[in-house]
Each structure stands twice: as C-alpha cells, then as structure tokens.
Amino acid sequence: MEVGGDEPVVHGALMAGFAQACVNLNIVAGRRATALLADLDVARWYPLAKWFELERMVGDSYSNVAPIRLKLGVEMMTLWYHRGPGRALIRRGADFLHFQTGSNGIASVIRGPREVVGSFDLAEFDEARGRAVIHSTTPFDRKIECGVLIGGVLAPGDIDYVDVTNDGDPNRLVVEFH
C-alpha cells in the first residue's frame, strides 16, 4: 500500500511487531491481528488508521485492556531487542531512553505532520537517581508506550527494575529504573 503526502503513517515493522506480540502472548486478537496483517510488507509504510484498527481489536477483546496493552508494549520491545536490530543498537537499558526519544527511535516508525503524530521527548534524565521523564504527545495508547519503555529498558539485561507511571498529566511518563 502506497501512502504519501501529509497522511500520518506507521512503519510495517511496527505493525508486524504488534501482531507478533499478540500471537506470542496468546492475546485473543492475535488471530484477527494476523489476518489483518496477512499481506503486510515490513519494509513499507501504512496509514496510521491501520494501527488504530489493531489497537481497537485488542480493546474490543478485553474488558480491562490496560494490562494487556502494557504487556504488548513490553513484548514488542523484547522482540525488537532479541530478534530485531535492538541488540546492535542498544548496549544498556538506560541508553534505550535516549534512543527511543531520539530520531532513531519512535521517529523511525511514525511519520506525518507533527500536530498529528506528536512527539516523544526526553524531558529529564538522571541516571544516578534512576529517573527519567518523557513528554509524549503521540497518538499511541499510553499503556502501550509504558510497556515499550519498560521492555526497552529491561531488554539488555543490565537493569533489574523498571516502572513507568502516567498519572496526572496524560502526556507525562515518569520512568524509574535501578
């Protein structure tokens, strides 16, 4: 599927990671997500609306979807690190926070007008205290983003504890890691 212009798009690899995470976690939407993505080319770009369709499938399958979305984000990053390019790009868990908020992270899988695709910026980082704050205005579900951060920080194996909270300000993700 060719997309162009100012239409917001997501990379096929991100969508494939989501679908595979559904399958790996035995999420009910896994089969439906796989069918939706049957002709997916992981090297191409797809309308952002297709991503939202995947998110809706999961949401429609569970009455309490927040923990499922969190697990999906963790699994997506576990796959990215251990079966994708992650191991070659990230050496330490804390490095993932810089990577994900930089041009190589989230900006590599979503494109479009900033007012639609938003931003994912590292607002604070204190490695000695094990604390970071990320300001996110992306259209992605915040629970999935929390899971992505947890999974990405844990994947290299050098950090034992990660928690991400998203209380109060919906665009503020506070990461604690030790």
Q: State pLDDT tens for residues 12-41.
A: 888 888 888 888 888 876 666 667 767 888
Long-range CB contacts (< 8 A, 24+ apart) of 108-114? Answer: 108/11, 109/10, 109/11, 109/13, 109/14, 110/8, 110/9, 110/10, 110/11, 110/14, 110/48, 110/138, 111/8, 111/9, 111/45, 112/6, 112/7, 112/8, 112/9, 112/48, 113/6, 113/8
Give the pTM: 0.88
Structure tokens belonging to residue 5? 């212009």
Say how far apart CA 21 and CA 8 lie, in whole Å. 23
pLDDT tier at 4, thresholds 50, 70, 90: low
Q: Which two tokens stand for residue 17?
A: 């990671």
Give the span between the Cα atoms of 141 and 129, in whole angstroms: 27
Helix (H, G, I), strand (E, B) or coil at 89: helix
pLDDT of residue 34: 66
CA 125 to chain CA centroid, Å, is: 19
> Looking at the predicted structure, is the pLDDT value of residue 2 above 60?
no
Q: How far does the chain reach from its first CA to its final CA, in angstroms? A: 43
Q: Output the pLDDT for position 1.
A: 47
**Which domains are seen in the chain, by residue range?**
9-177 (3.90.1520.10)
